[in-house]
């Protein structure tokens, strides 16, 4: 059955050519112009990569602090003990602890957006793999969420540092701000996100790497950004 879009979405999509490429600035202008929800919509960037998501050496995963943040504070928990746990709380963690925090999460508590862990705590986290893994919340050195500097990481993620990882289709999704952001700030964030994904291209990926970039608000249509792999003359 075809997906039934809301009246608001259909209105926002009028005269919209999904295949027309826009510059980053023009895509931002379109997203802001067509946003019609009564709340401050999130602006999302989707990057389609030509990677084989089944190959470990082609996965794209990490974390990134955008120049102007994302307009949202993140709820961070920290797996640490003693003074380190206290420092994590002082840095903004809503909860911090070791086995007791693991047990609480295993019992069903999931009211957080990011989990940070000290390497010494990873032995406690094995039982949470099936709980946190599918939600993309399992701490990992690649995303900067397993670190000796727990308090520093907590502060960064609480302030809006984002985690990303490719999905099974090879797409990377990132929040890059809010519709209420100044257009120039959204452009800066988007360019920073695209540049970062380019910079961490896996060595195992040959040929074309980034095959499509799209921008959309929570309730609006998506806009294709001109192929970032091509020179400006190809626009």
201-221: pLDDT as tens digits: 999 999 999 999 999 999 999
Cα–Cα distance measured from residue 110 to residue 112, given in angstroms and rounded to the nearest whole number: 6
In the predicted model, what is the mean pLDDT of residues 168-189? 96
CA separation for the pair 34, 10 (Å, rounded): 11
Predicted confidence (pLDDT) at residue 12 exceeds the cutoff of 80: no
Asked if residue 117 has pLDDT above 90, the reply is: yes
The Cα 188–Cα 190 span in angstroms is 6
CA distance 158 to 92: 6
C-alpha to C-alpha distance for 10 and 66, rounded to whole angstroms: 31
pLDDT grade for 15, boundaries at 50, 70 and 90:
low
Residue 4 has pLDDT above 60, yes or no: no
Q: Is the pLDDT of residue 232 over 50?
A: no
pTM of the model: 0.75
- What's the whole-number mean pLDDT along residues 86-115? 95
- The whole-number pLDDT of residue 231 equals 38
Which pLDDT score is estimated for 127? 87
Average per-residue pLDDT for the chain: 89
Is a pLDDT exceeding 60 seen at residue 229? no
Instruction: Give residue 228's pLDDT.
Output: 63
pLDDT reported for residue 13: 52
Asked if residue 40 lies in contact with residue 32, where contact means CB atoms within 8 angstroms, the answer is: no
Greatest alpha-carbon span in the chain:
59
Q: What is the pLDDT of residue 68?
A: 92
pLDDT classification of 234: cutoffs 50, 70, 90: very low
Q: Which residues pair with 214 in a beta bridge?
A: 46, 224
pLDDT band at 148 (very low <50, low <70, confident <90, very high): very high
1 pLDDT band (50/70/90 cuts)? very low
Using 50, 70 and 90 to split pLDDT, how confident is the model at 6? low
Least confident of 23-32, 72-81, 161-170, 222-231: 222-231
Task: Indicate the pairing of strand 95-97 with strand 76-79.
Answer: parallel
Q: What mean pLDDT comes out for the span 97-120?
A: 95
């Amino acid at each position: 059955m075809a997906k039934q879009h809301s009246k608001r979405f259909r209105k926002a999509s009028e005269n919209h050519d999904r295949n027309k490429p826009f510059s980053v600035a023009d895509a931002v202008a379109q997203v802001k112009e067509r946003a019609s929800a009564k709340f401050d919509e999130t602006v999302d960037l989707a990057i389609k990569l030509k990677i084989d998501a089944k190959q470990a050496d082609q996965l794209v995963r990490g974390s990134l602090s955008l120049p102007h943040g994302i307009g949202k504070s993140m709820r961070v928990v920290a797996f640490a003990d003693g003074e380190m746990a206290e420092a994590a709380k002082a840095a903004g963690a809503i909860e911090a602890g070791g086995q007791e925090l693991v047990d609480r999460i295993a019992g069903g508590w999931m009211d957080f957006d990011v989990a940070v862990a000290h390497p010494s705590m990873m032995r406690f986290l094995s039982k949470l793999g099936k709980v946190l893994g599918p939600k993309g919340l399992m701490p990992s050195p690649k995303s900067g969420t397993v670190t000796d500097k727990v308090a520093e990481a907590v502060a960064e993620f609480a302030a809006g540092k984002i985690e990303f990882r490719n999905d099974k289709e090879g797409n990377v999704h990132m929040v890059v701000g809010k519709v209420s952001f100044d257009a120039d700030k959204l452009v800066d964030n988007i360019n920073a996100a695209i540049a970062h994904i380019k910079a961490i291209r896996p060595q195992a990926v040959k040929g074309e790497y980034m095959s499509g970039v799209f921008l959309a608000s929570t309730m609006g249509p998506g806009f294709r950004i001109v192929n970032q792999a091509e020179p400006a003359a190809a626009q």
